[in-house]
A and B are shown apart, each in its own frame.
Chain A
Amino acid sequence: MIATNDIVLHIDHVHKTFAGLHALADVHLDIREGETHAIIGPNGAGKSTLLNVCVGVLPPTQGKVMFHGTELTGLKPYEINQLGVARVFQTPEIFGDLTVLENVMMAMLSHRDGAFRLKLVSRFDEQGEIGQRAIQALRDRGLGGHIYHLAGALSRGDKRRLELVMGLVQKPKLLLLDEPTAGMARADTNATIEILRQIKESGMTIVIIEHDMHVVFSLADRITVLAGGRVIAQGVPDEIKGNPKVIEAYLGEEQV
């Protein structure tokens, strides 16, 4: 599955402490070009914190994060996004007062025009090229019926799907997914796995945090297990399944 040995994301001995709490302790991790890398671990293991450090929400207490050789530490979230890192959040973050279509167009316009461009009077609408592409992207992901609805009124699962579309239309070099199926019914989860499989097949590098082992083992090329802020195991799915430390720390508790 892994095409090359190029390192997309290099997480270099990252520590993060919150007022004494060691949320991340010496996390060292490489994400390779084209792989789908799952990060699993019990609640509070530091998975979301790790993503937050990667996208510039939180500065690491120690260590650094390199993306294709560029140091991300100290960059603003928008700069990291402009470098080609898109993220889907654990709790959906969307523009609730904008329509679903506008949400997607926002993502496309920032990808096309950069972090700031003053376009005062050029009219945007769905007739334009961007609008048509946004509509197509929404239809492809099963949101065609909600195009003109306010994004804030979508169900939780649809909000997640919208976030995914917003990430994808930016054609990112790295897609970070924080529990993309949390709160979804089985059928929706399976549909999401199908979508993610297509994305994976397109060659995109994906980091996925996931609770649902069914999702993890359906998609992941490699798995990193976090517990108490530390990497306790790393390897291909079969290695992880048989690892006693993992079973103790995580799998047993979640009864796979």
Chain B
Amino acid sequence: MKHTSKLADIALLIGFAIVVALGPVIFTPIGAGYPDLLQKFAIYGIFAIGFNILFGLTGYLSFGHAAFLGVGSYAAVWSFKLLSMDLLPAVIASVLLAGLLALAIGFISLRRSGIYFSILTLAFAQMCYNMAYSVLTPITNGETGLRVLRNDPRHLDAAFGYVSPMPSLLGLQITGWTGFYICGAVLVAAFGLSIAIFRSPFGMTLRAIKSNQNRMGYTGYSSRPYLLSAFVISGMFAGLAGSLLAATDPLAGAERMQWTASGEVVLMTILGGAGTLLGPVLGTGLIKYFENIFSAYNEQQLTAMFAFLPDGVREAVVKTTGLFVGEGWQLTLGLLFMAVVIFLPGGIMEGINRLLGLKHTPKVKSLGDSPQRDGLGEMVIEEMPPSHGAAEADKKVAEQKNAEKKRAVAP
């Protein structure tokens, strides 16, 4: 369990950047090599990376992160309308606003932990969603969605005499492959930041909170400001993702804030492996890829696919498979998710680590009181008298194990 070296981290970041840069080549064989989809991978990857800083490191499960994504989108569109078609002011506005909202929501929600924290975040996100449709319609334009219009003022652009029909970055239009590479670059930066946070004293403190929040106080730490910082940082990542969503599709609607969107980022993170660096990105890729493939199928395509089957059987097969594709793709997602959680609780990353034989199994078997450990040892300790019991139990179990080993070795 040695700390990974700085060099290994840099190699990981470079490797990641290369994969992103070669994305169009790498993803073409599986039919995902087009800018719109890859762009989505990148944007939701940023969302999940940020979510993982909260959930993966501290274990605090937020069910309301879509609120920050949505607010980021609205802020970006307003920046496109009032300030400039350039991405930079939009990103700044989105990140700041999402951060502020996260500060407010986090401040209140973090007074509780566990399921109560999750429910509070969910409630706040649903409030944001409902307000976007009701009292905030002057800002959000309600169900129609907020869009960029040709005659919006754009004061900054007007001052510089800059005209762009589409959101752009320093004059580059954010469409097609340029759009993907801009989002990809932001993804690489977000990934690098996430590595830095994971390896910082701050990241270690967050993991300590997840491990034993009780101990934090006796070690001299005030947990709340650490948790709030993590919450705000992950909210800012979500705001960043929201502004990129708005830049690639300059129409912001409240559905981006719905609880299903909050749930999706939870799924992406857990599916990939919460608390790992790469997991959230892999989970995002997998979910967005399957969503794209499965939701695209319709009945005609299925009928064509199963044309080789005899008439009666074909209908039945098409009906059944039809449940899992198109609108019903969420059913596939649910099954996939269940399979992963049951067989690979650590997500895809656990699967990869197992394949590579990298899994860290603690070398020392414990008789301690952590609930996951050796049930036998636990019982032995409880039954022993309090003074020297545990150590003797320690020895006894070791002897038993040795004896068992000898028996196993003996022919």
State the Cβ distance, A11 to closest chain B Cβ, in Å: 19
A211 closest partner in B (C-beta): B387
Contact with B along A202-238 (1 / 0, CB 8 A): 0000000001100000000000000000000000000
Q: Find the residue from A94, A116, A125, A211 having the highest chain B CB count within 10 A.
A: A116
Asked if A118 contacts B366 (CB within 8 A), the reply is: no
Asked if B364 contacts A120 (CB within 8 A), the reply is: no
Q: Count the A-B residue pairs with Cβ separation under 8 angstroms: how many?
A: 175
- Is B375 an interface position by the 8 A CB rule? no
Asked if B389 contacts A76 (CB within 8 A), the reply is: no
Asked if B200 contacts A119 (CB within 8 A), the reply is: yes
CB proximity to B under 8 Å, residues A180-221: 182-186, 188-189, 211-212
Asked if A155 contacts B363 (CB within 8 A), the reply is: no
- Is A133 an interface position by the 8 A CB rule? no
Task: Tell me the complex Cα distance, A182–B369, Å.
Answer: 14
Q: Are A96 and B370 CB-contacts (below 8 A) given A102-B204, A118-B229?
A: yes
Q: Are A119 and B201 CB-contacts (below 8 A) given A78-B217, A125-B6, A183-B389?
A: yes
- Is B162 an interface position by the 8 A CB rule? no
B360 closest partner in A (C-beta): A150
Task: In the complex, identify which listed stretch (B182-190, B218-226, B256-264, B301-309) lies at the interface while the others stay far away.
Answer: B218-226
Report the interface size for chain B: residues with CB under 8 A from the other chain.
54
A151 closest partner in B (C-beta): B211
Point out the residues of chain B lying under 8 angstroms from A118, CB to CB.
202, 225, 229
Q: Find the residue from B208, B215, B362, B388 having the highest chain A CB count within 10 A.
A: B215
Asked if B388 contacts A184 (CB within 8 A), the reply is: yes
Asked if B214 contacts A185 (CB within 8 A), the reply is: no
Asked if A77 contacts B217 (CB within 8 A), the reply is: yes
- Is A49 an interface position by the 8 A CB rule? no
Task: Tell me the complex Cα distance, A76–B370, Å.
Answer: 25
Asked if B390 contacts A183 (CB within 8 A), the reply is: yes
Q: Is the interface of A mostly helix, strand, loop or mixed?
A: loop
Question: Of A87, A89, A93, A124, which one neighbours B200 at CB under 8 angstroms?
Answer: A124
Q: Are A97 and B222 CB-contacts (below 8 A) given A120-B200, A125-B6, A150-B1?
A: no
- Is B407 an interface position by the 8 A CB rule? no
State the Cβ distance, B198 to closest chain A Cβ, in Å: 10
Report the interface size for chain A: residues with CB under 8 A from the other chain.
63
CB proximity to A under 8 Å, residues B148-196: 193, 196
Task: Tell me the complex Cα distance, A157–B392, Å.
Answer: 11
- Is B367 an interface position by the 8 A CB rule? yes
Task: Tell me the complex Cα distance, A232–B207, Å.
Answer: 44
A89 closest partner in B (C-beta): B218
Point out the residues of chain B lying under 8 angstroms from A92, CB to CB.
368-369
Task: Tell me the complex Cα distance, A109–B219, Å.
Answer: 9
Contact with A along B378-411 (1 / 0, CB 8 A): 0001000011111110110000000000000000
State the Cβ distance, A152 to closest chain B Cβ, in Å: 5
Asked if A185 contacts B392 (CB within 8 A), the reply is: yes
Asked if A123 contacts B364 (CB within 8 A), the reply is: no
State the Cβ distance, A67 to closest chain B Cβ, in Å: 14
A90 closest partner in B (C-beta): B386
Asked if B367 contacts A123 (CB within 8 A), the reply is: no
Point out the residues of chain B lying under 8 angstroms from A154, CB to CB.
364, 366, 368
- Is A243 an interface position by the 8 A CB rule? no
Point out the residues of chain A lying under 8 angstroms from B370, CB to CB.
96, 152
Q: Are A116 and B214 CB-contacts (below 8 A) given A91-B369, A156-B390?
A: no
- Is A22 an interface position by the 8 A CB rule? no
Contact with B along A110-137 (1 / 0, CB 8 A): 1101111111111111100000000000
State the Cβ distance, B279 to closest chain A Cβ, in Å: 16
- Is B373 an interface position by the 8 A CB rule? yes
Task: Tell me the complex Cα distance, A190–B201, Å.
Answer: 36
Task: Tell me the complex Cα distance, A150–B368, Å.
Answer: 12
Point out the residues of chain A lying under 8 angstroms from B381, CB to CB.
156, 183
Asked if A93 contacts B215 (CB within 8 A), the reply is: yes
Point out the residues of chain B lying under 8 angstroms from A55, CB to CB.
218
Asked if B368 contacts A152 (CB within 8 A), the reply is: yes
Point out the residues of chain B lying under 8 angstroms from A124, CB to CB.
199-201, 204
CB proximity to B under 8 Å, residues A70-111: 76-78, 81-82, 86-87, 89, 91-99, 102, 105-107, 109-111
Point out the residues of chain A lying under 8 angstroms from B373, CB to CB.
152-153
Q: Find the residue from B5, B218, B221, B391 having the highest chain A CB count within 10 A.
A: B218
State the Cβ distance, A105 to closest chain B Cβ, in Å: 7
Point out the residues of chain A lying under 8 angstroms from B366, CB to CB.
152-155
Asked if B221 contacts A94 (CB within 8 A), the reply is: no
Q: List 16 A-B contacts (CB under 8 A).
A: A95-B212, A97-B211, A106-B204, A106-B221, A114-B220, A116-B222, A116-B225, A118-B225, A125-B6, A146-B364, A148-B2, A152-B370, A152-B372, A153-B362, A157-B394, A182-B390
Query: Given A111-B220, A154-B368, 17 more contacts at CB 8 Å?
Result: A86-B218, A95-B211, A102-B204, A121-B193, A121-B196, A121-B200, A125-B199, A126-B3, A152-B211, A152-B368, A153-B365, A153-B373, A155-B368, A157-B391, A183-B387, A185-B391, A185-B394
A contact set with B: CB distance below 8 Å: 43, 55-56, 76-78, 81-82, 86-87, 89, 91-99, 102, 105-107, 109-111, 113-126, 146, 148-150, 152-157, 159, 166, 170, 182-186, 188-189, 211-212
B contact set with A: CB distance below 8 Å: 1-3, 5-6, 193, 196-197, 199-202, 204-205, 207-208, 210-212, 214-222, 225-226, 229, 233, 360, 362-370, 372-373, 381, 386-392, 394-395
